[in-house]
Structure 1
Amino acid sequence: MIKNKKYDLIIVGGGVIGTFCAYHALLKNKSVLLLEKDAQPYEASFRNFGQAVPSGQRLDTWFEHGRRSLKIYKELQEELDISLVPNGSWYVASDDEELGLLEEMSELLNERDYKNRLYTATETSEINPHFKKDYVKGGLFLPDEASLNPLVMVHRVREYLIKSMGLHYQNLCPVIGVEKKRGIAMLTTANKKTYWADDVILANGRDTQFLFPEHYPSDELKVCKLQMMRLAPQKKILKSNILTGLTIRRYESFHSCPSYQKLSTKPEHAPFKKYGIHMLFKQADDGSIILGDSHEYAPVHKSANFGFEISREINELMLAEAKRITNLEKWDVDQTWAGYYLQGTESEVFTKTIDDVIHIINGIGGKGMTTSPGFTQNYIKNLYL
């Protein structure tokens, strides 16, 4: 890194949004500095399922971002191992209403030339014998979707950008001030360093209290706390991402289905709705199984309202529902954790430009892993029109 060098772009925040903004800017031959406040980024980009599932995104907008993201992930996987596993996704319906949504979704995906196949209850159970037969009413399989390991993917992409594309990176470098000066952006860090750039992107996740807190209104953003758990390693039985009936009822893509508005809410769904629980399953390379997750919300600047504890009630609800869906060899919980991310209340991502040179990207919600590469490609393209 050259002292007092002016960059084309400085990015604050080393998560998935910041890393892929850097990637697309480097592809445009821009000089880029990526700053990270911690020794390693470890927030929402690393505390998630690690699924690339465009089929769950809003069809009129974010589905295409997800589709482009899959293409970008697969291109990167050809250059280095970013942990991408093209294992596909299964949606499993538990009742006739959910099955009707899967049938309608299949038609909507066919209109978009997105590979999918409907399966009967018998076929779904034969392919996935770990499902309990009384749960399964049918399934929809998306062969092109994939899994990623969120603990390593962003780190591997960043190292590739440093070694092969000329990214400058500085960790343990919290930014405490950004302002427009002499027509460009000046950044000041806690360790008394100053950096200059034509443009700055703030992709600093839920840490909104330090830089321009007045630009994160509570009526436009909220913070989400989610819980997940990891079961002890066991025999490999889950070949794909598994998304269940509660997921069909929650994911935004299904809002486009004609019968979605007629979907009834059963009394037994009430506790799951209270905590925003929808059940996902994914088996890691070591045989451990990740399952969850839940969603609780608070105003953008009040994440302390959540406290620091993991809710036993939520974990028990998720385990009970998981046991209703599938047969597993072991149900021993090895780990349980919480993740936090910002989510827009009025829009699906929060973007704002201050003084022409300072650009905020935040509030992408839980779709960051699936859509960030495609979304940032479009964002960087527009930034450099």
Structure 2
Amino acid sequence: MARRREYWLQLENQLWDASPWGVDRVAGKTMARRPDGMFRGASEEVLRIRRYEENWSTPAGLAVNPWDLAEPDNGEFPGAVLTAKVADEIVVHFRNMDQRKDVDDQQRIHSLHAHGAQRVPRYDGAYPLSPPDLEQGGRHGDRVAPGDSFTYRWTCPQRAAAGAWLFHDGSLAGSQSTGLGAFGVLLIRSPGEVEPDLPVAAIRRAGDSMTSFSSVPRPPRQGEYVLVFHRLPGVGLCLNGRQALGNTPTLVAGMGTRMRVHCLNATPEPLTVHIHGHRWERGAAYVDAELLPAGGGTTLSILSGSSENGGGIGEWVIEGTIAGESVHGSLLVTVGGVVELASG
């Protein structure tokens, strides 16, 4: 049955540490904290599209990946993850709260442009083609000024809309803003698609480190994971806003977990995704790597530990590569409980 899904999003600027836990498991060392208090800070403020409760009352505080052992507590980078089902209407109230002081005024004007969903031109958010919306006082959805807001209406009436899609800034300065993190993810589920399981307890406990976990919950039977590959200034290629194993996503699954791994490329270049030890079906064959075009996304359907899809108990590298530059996360297949992870 079709539903109306309503979301409240706010674009904000902030300082960002791409290695918030200060460890590098590949090198087997702890990073030195810089004078600014960060371990690997972006060279300029990032832009974050954050999800809020109704009327922007309070931040929603939702995790991008509830089954990520390394996701920082402030979550939601890259951007908010919005969910809908085929036939739903999606209403997005967007507010621009870009308060950067050291940039041109034009660079503080933003919009939302969604891939995958259908809409009329005034809700497309692509500068300069969005006509004024007379129902919103003649405002344009492709140029939302700081402190202003705009409501977008998207639909997904056809099965072709099902999948993982990016939404991002489509304003005049949209390319630069997207490169600073002004994007999010739209997950459109097929009719009858099973909802993912959530952890029944905290995935990390007080006293845990990024290599030692005292009580990891029992892994999900149905697992959903979001991986966005992108760049940040002064940092380089990132995975969900982070860099260096021990900071990047460490995704938890179990033997027999039915995984939907949504992979998206928010860079302007083609990118290859490879999950070590695993395969997934593409047409009449199985593959173990996926080429994502700029702005593209795909969903990998994997039954963990099966003879067709591979894997099994242990930790497996997730790798994204662009022209020789790579970023790594990991997929941890476990039974839960006490977990010790390797370090170089």
Using structure 2 for the length normalisation, give the TM-score.
0.25
Relative contact order, CA 8 A, sep 6+: which one is greater? 1
Using structure 1 for the length normalisation, give the TM-score.
0.23
More helix by share: 1
